[in-house]
Structure 1
Amino acid sequence: MTAVPLAPADIVQAVSRVDPIVPGGLEAFDHLGTMVCVVVPDGRCLYANSAFEEGLGLSRKSMLRESIYDWVVSPGLLRDVVSAVARNEFATSRLQTDLRRHLHGHGEPLPVQVIVTRLGQGSLVLVELVEVEQQTRQDREERALDQVQANKELIRNLAHEIKNPLGGIRGAAQLLQMELESKSLTEYTQVIIHEADRLQSLVDRLLAPHRRPHVVGDVNIHEVCERVRSLILAEFPKGLKVQRDYDTSLPDFRGDREQLIQAVLNIAHNAAQALIDRIAQGDARIVLRTRVVRRVTINRALHRLALVLHIEDNGPGIPESIRDRVFYPLVSGRDGGSGLGLTLAQTFVQQHQGTIECESEPGRTVFRILIPLP
């Protein structure tokens, strides 16, 4: 069904009825990261925010000539819900459907959760669409934030409990070594001192991101990637390709360059070590890919622009048993690994108000770093 457009006077009248309800008028909806439109009961669109324009792939002017029921794959349930809400049978309702990214059948449908709400005393209906994937990602981000705070407290408390007795153990071993005449016995005290130093180094690495000051300056993400690329190729000069796939239009941003280099290096180095077998075969690959995304929600805040850095490899993948815990401290899928590299990477990225995620399957692992841009 193609809707008949409302006359301009009708639209103005309808919008004026909404303005008192929404603080700042309809323009306030343009600051939301979710897709929002105002419709009449037959589905005709009176208003759509900028997020809806981008999500649907149509201009706002074009959307005002369409019906919301033309934008979903199966409009029956949505039509019934909008009509019921408009009649005030209930104030709000939720459902799930698939949004057509482009009209006339082009593009993959986008799974969305739809929230339908009646506006004021009239028959206008506010329809909000939230990407199911976006909602899932936001849930993951909230869990990650809680996890980082819990890890921080755990690490600080654990480090405090370890450091004091560790110093006493090392000091006692040194005093004992001075009293021993047998060389064979001093070898044992050397083992104690060496292991105490190793534990001290581990504790220092755990506390490093919380002790080091945040040095802020202009950062170019491609300079960060190039530094990491050169370090990885210096360690693995044969059998490994580190490919570039850069969006050179990305602007500089304020951040700690060394922290970001360390974060990306930790991920890329883990990937290279996981690719040892493929390096021997000569077909190992790591891809550094940069892109820009618009109107994205990161850590509960809406940002106009953000950079996304993908670090992808063609290795065996992260073991399923630890896939959900890769950012936990002391969790490692490699023999001899400390389990701190990804924990530190997550901490450094979050200090830039960003997020880091991981998807892994045999033959493909992708770490996705998202950082807001000015």
Structure 2
Amino acid sequence: MLVKTDNLHEALLDNLYGAVFLSDLDLTILYANSAAESLFQMTRSKLCTLTIFDLLEDQIGFKKTLGELVDSGTPHTRRHEKINSKITGKSSKIDCSFTPIDVGETKRLLIEMHPIDHFVRINREHALLSAHDTSKSLVRGLAHEIKNPLGELGVRHNY
């Protein structure tokens, strides 16, 4: 059954994990979802006074990439980009996708940002736990050999 509400699209966007922005070709933010508010710790109204360049650290690289993207009309993704919150001064890493879209006869840019700090931390912890388990197993085997050196060979030689 199709659910009909007046604000269905907004409700869907506001419940996504990733930050979603809509901007014009000058990269002025026209729309930001609630994940964007959380990511940058700014209200929607404050975000909509900024450009995407106000939020991203690698402005020169992004300007070049976005210029090419708008000209070609193809989507583009950048991984492990650093962003800064102007209010808190905190930085974090994101995966960022840019998709040119047509809204009527007007060209816009759909921008998605997915925070990856949490995933990087989980992967790092997993690698540390794996290394710890390997070390533990190695030490256990070494301790056994110290306690019983060549013990199995002595059993086999019955003179």
Give 1:47's aligned residue: 31
Contact 1:81 1:116 in 2 (8 A): no
Residue in structure 2 matching 1:68, options 52, 55, 60: 52
Residue in structure 2 matching 1:94, options 77, 80, 92: 77
Give 1:117's aligned residue: 99
Superposed structure 1 runs of 4+ greater than 6 Å apart: 137-140, 331-335
Distance 1:118 1:332, change over 3 A: same
Contact 1:53 1:59 in 2 (8 A): yes
Contact 2:16 2:35 in 1 (8 A): yes
Whole-angstrom distance in 1 between the partners of 2:132 and 2:8: 50
Alignment of 1:195-344 (within 5 A): 320-322=131-133
Give 2:40's aligned residue: 56
Whole-angstrom distance in 1 between the partners of 2:51 and 2:74: 22
Whole-angstrom distance in 2 between the partners of 1:30 and 1:52: 9
**Per the alignment, in what secondary structure is the counterpart of residue 123 of structure 1?**
strand
What value does the CA root-mean-square deviation take over the aligned residues?
Answer: 3.4
**TM-score in terms of structure 2 length:** 0.65
**Per the alignment, in what secondary structure is the counterpart of residue 55 of structure 1?**
helix
Structure 2, gaps ≥5 residues long: 1-6, 142-159
Distance 1:92 1:138, change over 3 A: farther
Distance 1:107 1:318, change over 3 A: same
Contact 2:101 2:107 in 1 (8 A): yes
Contact 2:69 2:76 in 1 (8 A): yes
Shift of 1:108: 2.9
**TM-score in terms of structure 1 length:** 0.30
Contact 2:23 2:30 in 1 (8 A): yes
Whole-angstrom distance in 2 between the partners of 1:333 and 1:24: 58
Distance 1:138 1:81, change over 3 A: farther
Give 1:148's aligned residue: none
Shift of 1:332: 10
Contact 2:92 2:117 in 1 (8 A): no
Whole-angstrom distance in 2 between the partners of 1:318 and 1:138: 11
Residue in structure 1 matching 2:65, options 60, 66, 81: 81
Shift of 1:25: 2.7
Whole-angstrom distance in 2 between the partners of 1:138 and 1:124: 35
- In structure 2, what residue type is equivalent to 1:102? K
Distance 1:79 1:323, change over 3 A: farther
Shift of 1:136: 4.2
Give 2:146's aligned residue: none
Distance 1:333 1:28, change over 3 A: farther
Whole-angstrom distance in 2 between the partners of 1:108 and 1:74: 15
Residue in structure 2 matching 1:37, options 21, 26, 40: 21
**Per the alignment, in what secondary structure is the counterpart of residue 42 of structure 1?**
coil
Please tell me whether Structure 1 or Structure 2 has the larger radius of gyration of its CA atoms: 1
Structure 1, gaps ≥5 residues long: 1-22, 144-316, 336-374
Shift of 1:127: 0.7
Contact 2:29 2:47 in 1 (8 A): yes
**Per the alignment, in what secondary structure is the counterpart of residue 25 of structure 1?**
helix
The one of the two structures with greater contact order (alpha-carbon pairs below 8 A, sep at least 6) is: 2
Whole-angstrom distance in 1 between the partners of 2:139 and 2:10: 51
**Per the alignment, in what secondary structure is the counterpart of residue 76 of structure 1?**
helix
Tell me whether 1:133 sits opposite 2:117 in the alignment: yes
**Per the alignment, in what secondary structure is the counterpart of residue 69 of structure 1?**
helix
Shift of 1:82: 2.9
